[in-house]
Amino acid sequence: MNLVLLGPPGAGKGTQAVRISKAFGLVHLSSGDILRAERKAKTELGAKAQDYMDRGVLVPDDLILSMMMDHIGRPEAANGFLLDGFPRTLAQAEGLDARLAEKDRKIETVINIEVDDAAVTRRLTGRSTCPKCGRIYHEEFSPPVKAGICDDCGEALTRRKDDSLEVVGQRLKTYHEETKPLIAYYQNGGLLKRVSGEGSVDDVTAAIQEACRR
């Protein structure tokens, strides 16, 4: 199965992607995580992406599309993949469909995780992540046992620079202008399934699994 998780920044895509990819045996491909890894490794792509990411606007479509097609083409993804944070523009979605069709592959299901702007703002401004294992926390909604420390590996948690209130505002604006049209795109293609993202993490996981079976 090839799956897309759609939704605003902070909807819980990363949190759910870990659980859903495990449940269905899919490779989890997060465009944001891949970009942050490229930056950390100081690659040419990482350097190109840096300024866009820090401002909360989108990295150019051609860079993202070739980066994601590279990962989709790897052997680990041959039995199915889950896309998280990609596609984010109509051009990316159309490019993805065209490139997959060349290989006789396609997206089978798109899950739109619905959370309103006020809730995603609270989620993003309280988010922290483990730099070592990638586990996602929230200071109020899913806090670690010991404040600031990862439960799994004892590493100090970090906050993303773009989770500041100011950049979050820009990211939401970008979402409404550029990503929201994808809902209609996938609806028209008959692939879209809507899930409320406002419940507990467990509730949302159950709703996504249910939607995949519908």
Residues catalogued as catalytic? 13, 88, 127, 160, 171
CB under 5 to 8 A by kind: which of ligand ADP, Zn ion, none does 28 bind?
none
Under the binding rule (CB under 6 A), the answer on residue 135 touching ligand ADP is: no
- How many alpha carbons fall within 13 Å on the CB side of residue 182? 31
- Out of 47, 147, 153, 184, the residue judged to bind Zn ion by CB under 5 A: 153
Partner from Zn ion, ligand ADP, none contacting 95, C-beta within 5 to 8 A by type: none
Give the burial string for 93-112 (b: 16+ CB within 10 Å, else e): bebbeebeeeeebebebbbb
Closest CA to 110 of 129, 140, 83: 83
Task: Give yes or no for residue 207 binding ligand ADP (CB under 6 A).
Answer: no
Pairwise CA distance, residues 60 & 154, whole Å = 36
Query: Which one of residues 2, 3, 6, 13 is an interface residue with ligand ADP (CB under 6 A)?
Result: 13
Residues 179-198 close enough to bind ligand ADP by CB under 6 A: none
In the list 137, 182, 192, 208, the residue contacting ligand ADP (rule: CB under 6 A) is 137
The verdict on 95 binding ligand ADP (CB under 6 A) reads: no
154 binding Zn ion? (CB under 5 A): no
Instruction: Give the Å distances, CA to CA, from 98 to 29, 31, 105.
Output: 19, 19, 10
Residue type, 2: N
d(CA 80, CA 202): 23
In the bound state with Zn ion, the residue whose beta carbon lies nearer, of 33 and 198, is: 33
Among the listed residues 118, 120, 124, the one whose alpha carbon sits nearest the alpha carbon of residue 138:
124
Q: Which does 152 bind (CB under 5 to 8 A by kind): Zn ion, ligand ADP, none?
A: Zn ion
| Strand duo 136-138 + 27-30: pairing | unpaired
Which one of Zn ion, ligand ADP, none interacts with residue 4, CB within 5 to 8 A by kind?
none
Rg of the Cα trace of the chain?
16
Binding site for ligand ADP (CB under 6 A): 7, 9-15, 31-32, 35, 52-53, 56, 58-59, 64, 85-86, 88, 92, 123-124, 126-127, 136-138, 141-142, 162, 171, 200-201, 204
